[in-house]
Amino acid sequence: MSDYDILVVGAGPAGSTFARYMANKGYKVGVLEKKKEIGLPLQCAGLLGRRIKDLNVLPEEFILNEVNGAYLHSPSDHVMRVSKKDTQAYVLDRIGYDGYLAEIASAEGAEILLKHKVKSVNSKYGTVKMVNQGHKELTARVIVGADGHSSLVSNSFNESFNTVKASQYLVETSKPMETDFVNLHVNSKISPGFIWSIPLSPTQARIGLFGNHDYQSLKHILSNFMQSQGYLKGSKIIKKYHGEIPVFDNRKNLVNDRTILLGDAASQVKPTTGGGLLIGFACARIAADVVSKSLDNDQTSILKEYESQYKKEFEKELKTQLMVQKTFELLSNEDLDEMFIKLKEKGAEDIISTYGDMDSQSPLVRELLKRGLIFSVLPKVLYRSVSHIWKFF
Ligand SMILES: Cc1cc2nc3c(=O)[nH]c(=O)nc-3n(C[C@H](O)[C@H](O)[C@H](O)COP(=O)(O)OP(=O)(O)OC[C@H]3O[C@@H](n4cnc5c(N)ncnc54)[C@H](O)[C@@H]3O)c2cc1C
């Protein structure tokens, strides 16, 4: 007999949420977390689309700010303002929220084992080896790899992941900012990444970026950026953070024998922004349904349904975002500037405000294509390569 029905590797938001669902259904759940404190260090901008309220619990105390729009900046600072009347996204206290998600999983009966660093998993036999004041081995009927961007569980049956690096500062500004708008800056130097400025209060913001560079170069780009922005002149850096974001990879196997992958470990992230929380939460639900069916019928083959259900729900959207990302990678700063000017002239601010959604970008892309806007603003030399990217849409 196994020690647990389910062992979850990683008490991040995806792992804790899945553990809560399974403990609530009455299964014996263990969560192995290598850190001694959940959620630390912060590795997130904490910006979550409003759909979070449909996908997970979110007590008000973890909401630091609400935003209803964005200023989109080209490299030479041509700006588009897009917004809706109501809240589009929440800015979260991610450290507090991660701790809370683990706490409520534990309240449902999941056993959260801190300072348990998993060293190896055997998918076939359901054994997990770990270090916690010496070496230990535990067994489970199902293992869930929710161990983040460089997942050891994934590496046990997939090629190793590609990730991109991200850096972020918490800054205190000397001048008050608009709190209901985020600022997003594109620049070919970091494409497909971008720079963000997310207000937490009138005088505090998270300023960060991700891109295909080492941390030193990202830091350099961020420092130059801060000096170039009037509202950030004289601002004080309170904290510095960095972290990694998995590159979305739809060739990844999410199921192997009695093991599944969840969240960043499964590269369940939006290709355009690297955001992974909402998809992770949605997949925790799908996983909970499939894993209970598999346990109740004592058939590991049922776990395959997790991958097919995830793909059915997300593949189209994620592929669209991948095409947007690939298109961005082709554009120089001059191209981006020119496109911003043309898009603005052609009324894109209204179209983006109406059809834009930070988590579901295909309705906007479809609308822009339908109106012929994407190709009318692209540099002509890129038509052929961009048509090639979009031929399956
Ligand atoms: C700078 C930055 C900004 C971001 N901003 C946003 C944003 O604004 N919105 C958004 O939606 N997403 C954002 N993301 C992405 C988001 O943080 C991730 O998608 C999210 O944390 C994934 O959750 P997870 O539970 O899958 O993995 P994680 O949060 O990475 O949790 C994995 C857990 O597994 C543990 N673990 C790892 N290996 C082992 C092991 N061998 N044994 C035991 N435990 C282990 C880790 O300690 C960790 O606690 C950002 C990422 C970065 C780096």
For 72, 121, 138, 140, 155, the CA distances from 124, given in Å and listed in that order, are 49, 9, 14, 11, 15
Domain 4-43+94-161+249-318 has CATH 3.30.70.20: no
Q: Which of 51, 147, 207 to mutate to test the pocket of ligand 1 (most atoms within 8 A of CB)?
A: 147
- pLDDT of 360: 86
Paired sense of beta strands 163-172 and 236-246, if any: antiparallel
* Whether 167 contacts 222, CB under 8 Å: yes
Q: Which atom from ligand 1 is nearest to the alpha carbon of 38? A: 49
Q: Which atom from ligand 1 is nearest to the alpha carbon of 242? A: 1
Q: Which atom from ligand 1 is nearest to the alpha carbon of 16? A: 25
Query: Who's near 78: CB < 8 A, 6+ residues apart?
Result: 337, 340, 341, 344
Output the residue whose Cα is nearest ligand 1's atom 22.
264
Assess whether the C-beta atom of 32 lies below 6 angstroms from ligand 1. yes
* Whether 144 contacts 128, CB under 8 Å: no
* Whether 37 contacts 62, CB under 8 Å: no
- pLDDT of 135: 87
Q: Which atom from ligand 1 is nearest to the alpha carbon of 153? A: 41
Ligand 1 centroid – CA 335 distance (Å): 34
Assess whether the C-beta atom of 276 lies below 6 angstroms from ligand 1. yes
- pLDDT of 386: 73
Ligand 1 centroid – CA 370 distance (Å): 36
Given CA atoms 257, 260, 265, 268 in this order, what sign does their dihedral have? Answer: positive
Ligand 1 centroid – CA 120 distance (Å): 20
Assess whether the C-beta atom of 211 lies below 6 angstroms from ligand 1. no
Ligand 1 centroid – CA 66 distance (Å): 22
Task: Report the first-to-last Cα separation within the chain, whole angstroms.
Answer: 49
Starting at the earlier edge strand, list the strands of the sheet with 181-185: 79-83, 69-73, 181-185, 195-201, 204-211, 163-172, 236-246
- pLDDT of 160: 87
Assess whether the C-beta atom of 269 lies below 6 angstroms from ligand 1. yes
Starting at the earlier edge strand, list the strands of the sheet with 63-67: 47-49, 89-92, 63-67
Domain(s) of CATH 3.50.50.60: residues in the chain:
4-43+94-161+249-318
Q: Which atom from ligand 1 is nearest to the alpha carbon of 166? A: 1
Output the residue whose Cα is nearest ligand 1's atom 41.
118
Domain(s) of CATH 3.30.9.10: residues in the chain:
64-88+163-246
Output the residue whose Cα is nearest ligand 1's atom 53.
243
Helix-, strand-, coil-residue percentages of the chain, each rounded to 5: 40, 25, 35
Mean pLDDT by 10 residues, the chain (393 residues): 96 98 98 96 92 97 97 95 94 97 98 97 94 91 97 95 93 93 94 94 96 93 92 92 92 96 96 93 98 98 97 92 87 92 92 88 87 80 72 62
- pLDDT of 393: 61
Per-residue burial over 72-94, b if 16 or more Cβ lie within 10 Å, else e, is: bbbbeebebebbeeeebbbbbbb
* Whether 5 contacts 22, CB under 8 Å: yes
- Distance of alpha carbon 245 from alpha carbon 226, whole angstroms: 22
Assess whether the C-beta atom of 115 lies below 6 angstroms from ligand 1. no
Assess whether the C-beta atom of 193 lies below 6 angstroms from ligand 1. no
- Distance of alpha carbon 322 from alpha carbon 318, whole angstroms: 6
* Whether 366 contacts 354, CB under 8 Å: no
Cα 269 from chain centre: 5
Assess whether the C-beta atom of 335 lies below 6 angstroms from ligand 1. no
- pLDDT of 230: 87
Assess whether the C-beta atom of 153 lies below 6 angstroms from ligand 1. no
- pLDDT of 11: 98
Ligand 1 centroid – CA 13 distance (Å): 7
Assess whether the C-beta atom of 9 lies below 6 angstroms from ligand 1. yes
Half-sphere exposure of 139 (CA within 13 A, CB side): 7
* Whether 136 contacts 129, CB under 8 Å: yes
Q: Which CATH superfamily is domain 64-88+163-246 in?
A: D-Amino Acid Oxidase, subunit A, domain 2 (3.30.9.10)
